[in-house]
Each structure stands twice: as C-alpha cells, then as structure tokens.
Amino acid sequence: MRAATVKRRTSETDVLVEIDLDGSGKADIATGVGFFDHMLELFARHSLFDLRVAVTGDLHVDQHHTVEDTGIALGQAFVEALGEKRGICRYASTDLPMDETLTRVVVDISGRPFLVFRTTLPHAKIGAFDSELVREWFQAFAMNARLTLHVETFYGDNGHHIAESCFKGLARALRAAVSIDAREGERIPSTKGAL
C-alpha cells in the first residue's frame, strides 16, 4: 500500500493529511478555506489519489498559514507514501486547458526540490481567497514532496481558471509520474540507485 498519514501541529495550525496514491480520487477536505478546499478536491479527483485533509488554522489572522502548512504536510505524506520509489515512471508532463487558460506542469520525482512557477494571477483575490497563496502552496508542496516542479501558464484571463489549471495539471502529472512502469520492475529509476 502506497499510503501515509502525517500530522503537523504548530501554534498556528493543526493539520492532518491522509493520502493513498493508489486510490480512486476520493476526497474529504476541510481546511476552512472554501476555494482551497475546491482546489484540493480537484487535485484528488484528477490524480486519483484518495485524500483526506483536516485543518484547524488561525484564519482570524489570514489564510496563509493554513494553506502553506497544508502544502508542507501533504508534501511530507506524498514522500512517505512513495517509499523508495521503486518502479515508478518518475517523470511526467501535462498541458492542461481550462477554458481560455492553458497551463503546462512538468514534474520529476527527483528527491531534489525545486520550483519554477511562471504563472501570474490577474487579481489579488479569487473570491475571498488570496491569489498569492497559489504559489505559496506549490512552493510548500514541492519542497516537502522533494519534487522538481515546473508550472507555466501560457495564457489565461480568469484567476479561478488559472489556479484550477495549475492544480489539475499537477494532479495529472503526478498521476503519471507515480504510475508503476512494468519494465522497471523493482528498480529505482535512476543510474544513482536512489532518489
């Protein structure tokens, strides 16, 4: 079973994440931030990861700690669920259209965390959600999942569509990258013998 549970408690947030990489896309998300819940539900559905996220955060301050700490915990759970990464495809890319928006997401489950995020959201808010937190979540997730991750939106006008294309694109790319390659067998997909 490629599954993990991570609990992260700080003075700002209390986060529980459960992930199953070989699930069916079931989502049970409750962060207290409606738009963010929507993005994580999309992420679960399009990755086919079963995902449970329960967060109590200092939303009286703002949404930042809740979003960032969820990214940290989800990244840690992803790494734990992958284990030694034997037999995985490792690399994947997805071009994700969302109406007028087109985003490319490229991932390498490399063990070397790096984020290139070439996406601009046109407004400070998407409803009540702080748009700058999209990048913050991707940064927290990539660093803690130990991914090399490139996200680039080629064009788009609607902030909701742009954010959604990023989350769905990541989901689809990770779905492919964690897939088992029958030709790899039990090997780790690296000449180094470790990722």
pLDDT one-digit tens code per residue, 31-90: 999 999 999 999 999 999 999 999 999 999 999 999 999 999 999 999 999 999 999 999
**Which one of 3.30.70.920, 3.40.50.300, 3.90.105.10, 3.30.230.40 gives the CATH number of domain 3-177?**
3.30.230.40
Contact 164, 42 (CB under 8 A): yes
Tokens encoding 8: 């992260």
pLDDT in the model for residue 194: 79
pLDDT confidence bin for 96, thresholds 50/70/90: very high
Contact 35, 129 (CB under 8 A): yes
pLDDT in the model for residue 174: 98
Contact 195, 86 (CB under 8 A): no
